[in-house]
Amino acid sequence: MENPFKYAGIVRGPYFADRKQELSELLSEMRNLGRVFLVSPRRYGKTCLIFNLSDKLKKEGYCVAYLDLNAYPDLASFSVAVTEKVSRTLESSTDKLAKLLSALKYLRPRVEVGPDGSLAARVEMTVPRREALPALLEGLHYCDELARKKRRKLIIAIDEFSDLAKYDGQTIEKAIRSEIQTHSHIGYIFSGSAQSVILAMTQDPQRAFYRMGRIMELGAIDRSEYLKFILKWFKKGGYQLKNVDFELVFEAAEDVPYSVQRMCNILWEKARSTGTVTQKMLEQLPLLVARQDSVHFELIWQTASQAQKILLMALAKQQNAKPFSRAFQLAYGIGPSSSIKASLDSLVKKGILYQSPAGRYKFADTFMRYWILNLAERGAESR
């Protein structure tokens, strides 16, 4: 049987754990063509959730267009992509599409011939790139019009929405808001992992997206639900579980679904030959994953400064540390606070650490912590 614990890309259907509550809330928001800002730390499963929601919505007859802002370096390419993707989900005939699109002012259709001779309607901008914003607004307006004409309900999901700032910010936000507010056939999901950016966008009365939609903070998957999912698969695979307590896995993963999946994936393979899962195997999992990723961690480690390395080591040893406290600085012989702050800022910027809502500095990848702990242990042994 294939390993059911997928940890890369989009995880769907039976391989997708729980999220029933979130799916049902999102479904009802989208049935009302609402606007939802979906936020969580990285690798909590926003993108997977959107795809699973999209599968359900499509079954109910909705059209869904998914866009990841990461993929569009400038506003012009985003404007083109929105229009093109939405058009294609709403109209399959290339001829009709080309006709519909030819009514636009800033964008125009371009029919492309594929290697097999098939035709596809693409979109391109007819104006200089600096006019990308009017092109985007025209594209969005056209999407709503097209949905109306086709009598379809359309959902547009924009992932990594916090990236919008890269298109030179607030004028764009204002313009998008006023366009979107007129839409009557489109529901929107804006999703992102830069929680502070999205929360600032939506909770600051000065900003354009203030109260424009519901904010849904995606938390961890409930442990008992996740456990049911894990046990169901191991049972299906014919594995014996001998007095195993998966709490240890959730703790090590800090409840990040990606990390739980990584560990379960390895466990499945490790126990495959004997067909038995033991507690000892569970205990080894974090380090096994850390070893799989060691090339990546090694690279990060090599590019860190000496001060950053000492700090990372200290944070690995003492989770939930208060790096600006005197006790912490004395215990690890680091300081002063100003240089710790500089190191922390740089490590956060590089995505190695992140600051939790409670203000603690945590490893963005929990397995890096295990890798560093192992490094420290090996260092101590060789002394």
Ligand X SMILES: Nc1ncnc2c1ncn2[C@@H]1O[C@H](COP(=O)(O)OP(=O)(O)OP(=O)(O)O)[C@@H](O)[C@H]1O
Q: Which is nearer to ligand X, 43 or 122 (CB)?
A: 43
Indicate whether 6 belongs to the interface with ligand X (CB under 6 A): yes
Segment contacting ligand X by CB under 6 A, of 5-13, 58-66, 161-169, 340-348: 5-13
187 membership: H or E segment, kind and range: strand 186-192
Report what 6 binds from Mg ion, ligand X, none; CB cut-off 5-8 Å by kind.
ligand X
For 121, phi and psi rounded to 5 degrees?
-85, 125
Question: Contact at 8 Å (CB) between 61 and 70?
Answer: no
Contacted entry of ligand X, Mg ion, none for residue 19, CB cut-off 5 to 8 Å set by kind: ligand X
Segment contacting ligand X by CB under 6 A, of 114-122, 168-176, 255-263, 323-331: 255-263
Cβ partners under 8 Å of residue 291, min gap 6 = 371
Task: Looking at residues 99 to 138 of the shown chain, list those that interact with ligand X (rule: CB under 6 A).
Answer: none
Is residue 46 within the footprint of ligand X (CB under 6 A)? yes
Q: According to CB under 6 A, which one of 31, 42, 88, 108 is a site residue for ligand X?
A: 42
Given ligand X, Mg ion, none, residue 89, with its beta carbon under 5 to 8 Å by kind, binds none
Nearest approach in angstroms of CB 47 to ligand X is 3
| Closer of 198 and 316 to ligand X (Cβ) | 198
- Residue list 203-232, contact with ligand X (CB under 6 A): 221
Give the sign of the dihedral formed by CA 349, CA 355, CA 361, CA 364: negative
CB of 19 to Mg ion, least distance (A): 14
- 47 makes contact with Mg ion (CB under 5 A): yes
Q: For tokens 């890369």, what's the residue?
A: 8
SS3 190: strand
- Rule CB under 6 A: which of 179-198 touch ligand X? 193
Is 366 a binding residue for ligand X by CB under 6 A? The answer is: no
98 token code pair: 């080309």
DSSP 117: S
d(CA 374, CA 194): 30
Q: Which is nearer to Mg ion, 70 or 126 (CB)?
A: 70
Q: In this structure, which amino acid lies at residue 157? A: A
Binder to ligand X among 27, 55, 145, 258 (CB under 6 A)? 258
Alpha carbon distance 376, 199 (integer Å): 38
C-beta atoms surrounding 316 within 10 Å? 19
